[in-house]
Structures are given as C-alpha cells and as structure tokens.
Amino acid sequence: MQIFRSFLLSSALAGVASAQGPTANAVPASRPNIVVLVADDMGWNDIGYHCDQLHTPCLDRLAAAGVELDCHYVQPQCTPTRVALLTGRYPSRFGKHCTQASNERAVARGTATMASMLKSLGYETALTGKWHLGSKPEWGPNHYGFDSSHGSLAGAVGMYDHRYRLESPFVTTWHRDHEWIEEEGHVTDLCASEAVRFIEKKRDGPFFLYVPFHAVHTPLVERDGRWFAPNAHIESKDRRLFAAALTHLDAAVGRIVASLERTKQRDNTLIVFMSDNGGLPNYRGGNYPPPDSQLKNYSSNKPLRGRKTHVFEGGMRVPAFVSWPGKLAARRVTAPMHVVDWMPTLAALTGYALGKEAKWDGRDLWPLLNGTRDSWQKPRELYWVWGGRNRIALRAGRWKLLRNGRKKPWLLFDLVADPNESSDLAATNPKKLEELHALLRAQRARDAD
C-alpha cells in the first residue's frame, strides 16, 4: 500500500495535487466547509439522471452542474462502506466483523477518522443519520471525532418510531450525543432538520457535516402525498413506494442545499454524494416495526449485474457526484475510484499533515475532480471483501476477478468491453486469471498490516 501526500495550491483550490508522490500538504488560505451525504441502498438505476422514470430534481441538478463520478465504487453493504469512508482503509483490515453489516464496534478508539482529521484542523464536526459502526453508546460517533451526533447508532430503523429490528438488543437506538431520545416525525425529515440547524449555527471556523440518510433502506413508509404525486406514472406499487421515498430523500437534500444558500455558505462548501451500496431488488421483511411489508422489484441496479452484498458491479458501483460552485466545473469522470479515496482527498484539500503512521488504501482524487487529469497516472488495484472472505473481488485496470460465494467459481471480466459482467473469461485467459490471483493474494496479505 502506498501513502499518498498531496499539495493544493491556495486561492481557488484549483492547482494540481499529486496523488503519486510524498509531497507535504500546503495549508490553503481558507478551508472549505465539507458536507458528505450518503443514501442507503440506492442502486445504480435508482436516481433520476440514470432513470427518467424517477423524480429526483435536486440530485439531478447537483450532478449536472457538478462532477459526476461514473465509476465510483463502495463496499457491498452498509457497515463496510462506512468503515472505508471514514478511515480511508479497506474494512477487511479491521477484521471479519467489518466486512458485513454489524452492530459490533467497528474500529478501535483512537483510529484516525475523517471526523478526527478535520477536527484537528479546527473544523466543527457533526453527524446526523445512521451510524452503524457500533450500536452501543460507548461505541458512538462522539468517540471518533464528531463534536455532535444525532440519529440511530444501529442500522436502519422504522421511519416513524425510529426503532431498530424488534428482536434485537439494539431496538432502542435513536439518540442525541449517545443519550436516547424520543422525537416525532419521519426519519428523513428529522435528519434534514438536524442538518439545517447545524449549518445555520453561528461559528467562526469551517464545518464538516456527515449525513448518512436512512432512506431508501427498508422498511419504506411514506404518508405524504407530495412524494407520491410525481411518481404516479410508475405501474408497480412497490417501485412507486420506493420512488416516493427517493423523492422524499431528494427534497431533504434540497433543504440542506437551500440552507447553505440562505446562509451564504454554498460557494465555500464542497458537497459529496454517494450511495452506500447497490440496491436490493427484493425484500422479504426484516422484523422492523409495522408496517414492514415485503417488496418485489422495488429497487434496480440495471443494467449492472448483481445486488447489495454481491461483489458484482451492481452491488458496489453506485451513483455519486461532487458539487462545488465556482471551484469544480461540470464534468464526468470515468476513472475507477473507491470510497477509501475520500480520506486522502480531503486531507489534500484541507492541508492535513499526513503522518508516517497512516495506512490509507485510498488515493487523492482531486486531480480527477478538477480536471487536471482524466485517468490515474499509476496503475492501482481496487479490492472488496464481504462476509469474511465469503465474497471477494479485485479490479486491476480493465480487469476484474471475483468469487461471489465460497462455493462459487472464480470469474474474470473485462470491464471495458463488458461492463455488465456477462462474459466470463476465466477459461479463455488463464494468464490474466493467474496475474489477478497474484495481485489478490498480495492484497489479502496486506489485510494483516
């Protein structure tokens, strides 16, 4: 693994940042606010700019005016993606429990996180939404660099009663700064309102706001006709309910953007948006508070193969974009990137002094985001593990090796020629197969580092 140190030229933050060399980070004249928005279980075909049936006008506008990330990878499930985002490291480095959804403590206290890094630079840090990196208060976000936190410590909750799975010891999970609280309202609205309050708070320095929404994870409950009206044309009842939840999420993002504009902070705020994993087309119920109805074909990753928890593209390649008016011009980036890249990217952007102890797996994306480069200057591998090593994949350039289950065969795909993974080349290209196996063995060995 390489450690990437970058520099950023000051004023307009449009200078060239090197993702390849060990240069010291320069401190920018003024650090931007940073807002990271994460949708839950939004598949590739679950956003308006990929599917014209869906009504997500705010997200579509932000993506169109910003930098659309066409090949942005995450992990195949919620907890692993959150670990990767906040640490800059592959979740398999922290143990098997981090490679799938878990209520255990994900990482040890003292682990450097995006929040602790930015806090050390004078940022006020806050989280509102789904933590899912440890479901006990002693494992909560305030112990990992967040000045304030609100939402659920556990995973997805009932939209109105805010409880986790009914037979779980973590059924009570809604909190503010690790104290259980009762609130009325839909989870999507509560998180948006909390985000707006934080944005409009008076402060002298910059802020970092992390909003991991619960939407559009099941159970889906929408009672407001405003969210159904733009989606009335969708024939499938289950897909229409899902679309209403998406429109509701889109409106929540709109409230956050409007708050930045109202307080005249939008031009100094970088917004990052992504989903935490691919969609789950069919849902059989999850023992959530009623109504917790089964859903069929409600989410879509088309034309990509696979779904949430899979290491096919449909489980890990998700809608994503960045938006920063006046600093990042509208463009589409096709270079493969991974959620682990955001930690080193924000370090470069804010002038964080990277220590020798850092073991980040990511690279600085800034040269790709600002148009300095269209592709990576040096080759890189991307790596995924789900469920211990039940499902595992590695991408090197155009090639991808995967096994989607312990008893499943190894598959090899050329993602440039076959982005939907329809033609397995393992039997016809044994040399490339062994080459990627060697890279995978090396990556697995680094998990112990």
pLDDT (tens place) for every residue of the chain, 449 residues total: 333 333 333 333 333 333 333 234 556 668 999 999 999 999 999 999 999 999 999 999 999 999 999 999 999 999 999 999 999 999 999 999 999 999 999 999 999 999 999 999 999 999 999 999 999 999 999 999 999 999 999 999 999 999 999 889 999 999 999 999 999 999 999 999 999 999 999 999 999 999 999 999 999 999 999 999 999 999 999 999 999 999 999 999 999 999 999 999 999 999 999 999 999 999 988 888 777 778 999 999 999 999 999 999 999 999 999 999 999 999 999 999 999 999 999 999 999 987 766 789 999 999 999 999 999 988 999 999 999 889 999 999 999 999 999 999 999 999 999 999 999 999 999 999 999 999 999 999 999 87
DSSP state of 83: H
pLDDT at position 30 is 85
392 phi and psi angles, rounded to 5 deg: -150, 145
Q: How far is CA 426 from the centre of its chain?
A: 31
CATH assignment at residue 303: 3.40.720.10
CATH assignment at residue 426: 3.30.1120.10
- Quick check: is 68 in a domain? yes
pLDDT at position 15 is 36
- Quick check: is 320 in a domain? yes
- Quick check: is 416 in a domain? yes
SS3 state at 226: helix
- Quick check: is 377 in a domain? no
- Report CA dihedral (295, 299, 303, 309) to the nearest 10 degrees: -90
Q: At what angle do helices 78-87 and 342-350 cross, to 10 degrees?
A: 30
Domain-ending residue, one of 313, 339, 370: 370
Residues 92 and 129 in one domain: yes
Residues 324 and 427 in one domain: no
- Rounded to whole angstroms, what are the CA distances from 431 to 241, 331, 384, 412, 437? 48, 37, 22, 11, 10
Residues 344 and 428 in one domain: no
For 175-179, which contacts have Cβ atoms below 8 Å and span 24 or more sequence positions?
Answer: 175/137, 175/140, 175/149, 175/150, 175/151, 176/148, 176/149, 176/150, 177/142, 177/148, 177/149, 177/150, 178/137, 178/138, 178/140, 178/142, 178/149, 178/153, 179/137
Residues 296 and 408 in one domain: no
pTM for the predicted model, two decimal places? 0.93
Residues 393 and 246 in one domain: no
Percent of residues in the chain assigned helix, strand, coil, to nearest 5: 30, 15, 55
Query: Are the C-beta atoms of 316 and 338 separated by less than 8 Å?
Result: no
pLDDT at position 167 is 87
Residues 333 and 208 in one domain: yes
Q: How many CA within 13 A on the CB side of residue 390?
A: 10
Strands 399-403 and 67-69, by their bridges, are: unpaired
Distance, in Å, from the CA atom of 94 to the CA atom of 102, rounded to the nearest integer, reads: 13
- Quick check: is 342 in a domain? yes
pLDDT at position 293 is 79
Domain count of the chain? 2
Residues 61 and 111 in one domain: yes
- Quick check: is 20 in a domain? no
Residues 315 and 395 in one domain: no
Distance, in Å, from the CA atom of 389 to the CA atom of 99, rounded to the nearest integer, reads: 8
Domain-ending residue, one of 370, 403, 427: 370
Residues 110 and 235 in one domain: yes
Residues 241 and 155 in one domain: yes
pLDDT at position 392 is 98
Residues 336 and 405 in one domain: no
Distance, in Å, from the CA atom of 108 to the CA atom of 115, rounded to the nearest integer, reads: 15
pLDDT at position 285 is 84
Query: Are the C-beta atoms of 432 and 399 separated by less than 8 Å?
Result: yes
pLDDT at position 292 is 79
Domain-ending residue, one of 370, 398, 431: 370
Residues 406 and 327 in one domain: no
- Quick check: is 376 in a domain? no
Query: Are the C-beta atoms of 50 and 279 separated by less than 8 Å?
Result: no
pLDDT at position 26 is 59
CA proximity to 37, closest of 14, 3, 63, 64: 63
pLDDT at position 90 is 98
94 phi and psi angles, rounded to 5 deg: -100, 0
- Quick check: is 28 in a domain? no
Q: What is the DSSP string of 114-162?
A: HHHHHHHTT-EEEEEEE--S-SSGGGSGGGGT-SEEEEESSS---TTT-
Provide the residue range defining the domain that includes 365.
33-370
